[in-house]
Structure 1
Amino acid sequence: MRFGYSNTCLEHDPGPRHPETPDRLRAIREGLKRKHGVEYVEADPASFETIAGVHDRSYLEDVREFCADGGGNWDPDTTAVEETWDAVRMSAGLACWAADRALDGDDGRETPFSIGRPPGHHAIYDDAMGFCFVNNVAVAAQWALDADAYDVDRVAIVDWDVHHGNGTQDIFYDREDVFVVSVHEAGLYPGTGAVEETGAGDGEGTTMNVPMPAGAADSGYVAAFERAIVPALEGYDPDLVLVSAGFDAHRHDPISRIRLTSEAYALLTDRIRSLATSVDAGLGFVLEGGYGLEVLAECVALVHETFDGRDPLGPDDEVNEKVTELLEEVVAVHGLE
């Protein structure tokens, strides 16, 4: 794969006890050192105007001034330093780079993966939360829709971070040109993402939430993709698929109670890759969460290896009853039966 990366993203440092540390990117790069075919690309930072395509301008000006004044605690979870604004712009720019390369035809071993930080999927239209100031994947989706170089009518965003992608949902909830899917742990921060949240107005039916019960494992996630997510997105027929790729649903991540193995991320990558091929869409990845450094590095490496020719190993567990009941509900709500 080709990884979008910049040392600028290391300069955002929320402090030694904060889980969203610059060491996350260092761990990923260390884990990829011995992998074949890894390439790093530094993109241009996103402009204020590009970011304002999905965020309130006065909010962005407040963030910029907050960082210029030295930063601090925006809220109990979301912390900035003076360098954070530059990192925010770079992280959004790297996500736009991933969308650009995907639309330009980069696939297979050149599939783009943006490993910027801070992450973005909790940032709503006019506020920061959950470690996130700017919604990187939303910026990239809007950039793709607006880009004169490409004829993009519909974008799909698939968020497999263990936390609900509330910010992405918030930004596109009443729009039909972006289909937002979030598969996450039910009841976990920020407490949103119920099955019944399916969009509003023109966007009715273009939001899908799959709130997994605690303890769900590889087979449950694969079943969610095969029974609900892939069929829904095949019907939607997007021109671009962006993955909000968080890795904190891993069984060894300190934040969640989902029980995915590292191999699950290879399996989900394979399903997403097949989807993008079947609908002839570009495919790009944008880093979100993942706070166990060793497993974060391992999972990103497995995503890379899936595009480098490694065949994922199928899950060896059964889909539990609670997951089966959930998927029946999701399928019924979205008319996929």
Structure 2
Amino acid sequence: MATDNQFPVVPSGSSAQVPAHLLESTHRYVESGLRGAANTIRAYAGDWQRFTAWCQLHGMASLPAPVEALAGFLTELADSSKKVSTIQRHAAAIAKAHELAGLDSPTTDKKIKVLLKGIAREKKTRIKQAAAFSLASFKRTINSMDVTTPTGLRNRALLLLGFTGAFRRSELEALNMEDLAFDEEGLVVSLDKSKTNQLGQAEEKAIFYSPDPALCPIRSLQAWLRVLDRTEGCVFVSLRKNQQVTSRRLTTKYINLIVQQYLGPGYTAHSLRASFVTVSKLNGADDSKVMNQTKHKTSAMIRRYTRLDNVRHHNSAKELGL
């Protein structure tokens, strides 16, 4: 069993029937299957530490946690003006901790479910979604970029590839040259893993040439690759102040800052992906085509990603025939 300041792992007693020589591997596989994405692990670990510290302060057990402990903890988060999504994530982290330890979670109790529903109702908050930009504004942004420096070349390639490939920031961070396959038709990017592809099954994204070289994701990427002057390793790396290329992979945090630098503080790296969906739908693309690039599993997720806040967009009032 884990200590209170660690994210718990599967207890040794949970695999008692497994042959001794397979026990270690069994624990590793089960834990890997339960844990999920690396970013989720980090977030959950922090949430779990906050919960265990709260329980210690109030003289309550954290694992297994009584319903009263969880209710008090979630109430304190709500009273301290935490977002509903943050509170829900803490509850999910606590549930995952109990699952990893092979214990019943207090999050399944009806009282907790009612409490979470009441918190959400009182706060009346919508899930904050990354803003989407228009294609016209994105073109203006790209055309205004200074690409006479390695930084400009890198950032233009990052924005164009991120948008046309509907990439998550974690996918851009993990991208390697070995994942790129160029031919006369364009570029195919292979993804080893993603948020929704934890098993590493083969996934590909197709990138196409643009008639305008300044707006072409493939030509922009090739211009940046010429700066790197190598055939393997990470694609997007940091640069020193003298524009010297390093071998340090850009972090998701820095990718987010690059997007905000050019598009504005109201946007995030996720806006590249949300805008791909929105622009595609406004241009009449059906869900199956959009999903082929985003790798979403359902049309429901495409509808969630589509940003059509402008009342004039996608409105049948234009088609009444008057």
TM-score in same-fold range (> 0.5): no
Bin for the TM-score computed over the shorter chain:
under 0.3
State the TM-score, normalized to the length of structure 2: 0.22
Structure of higher RCO (CA pairs closer than 8 Å, 6+ residues apart) = 1
More strand per residue: 1 or 2? 1
More helix per residue: 1 or 2? 2
State the TM-score, normalized to the length of structure 1: 0.22
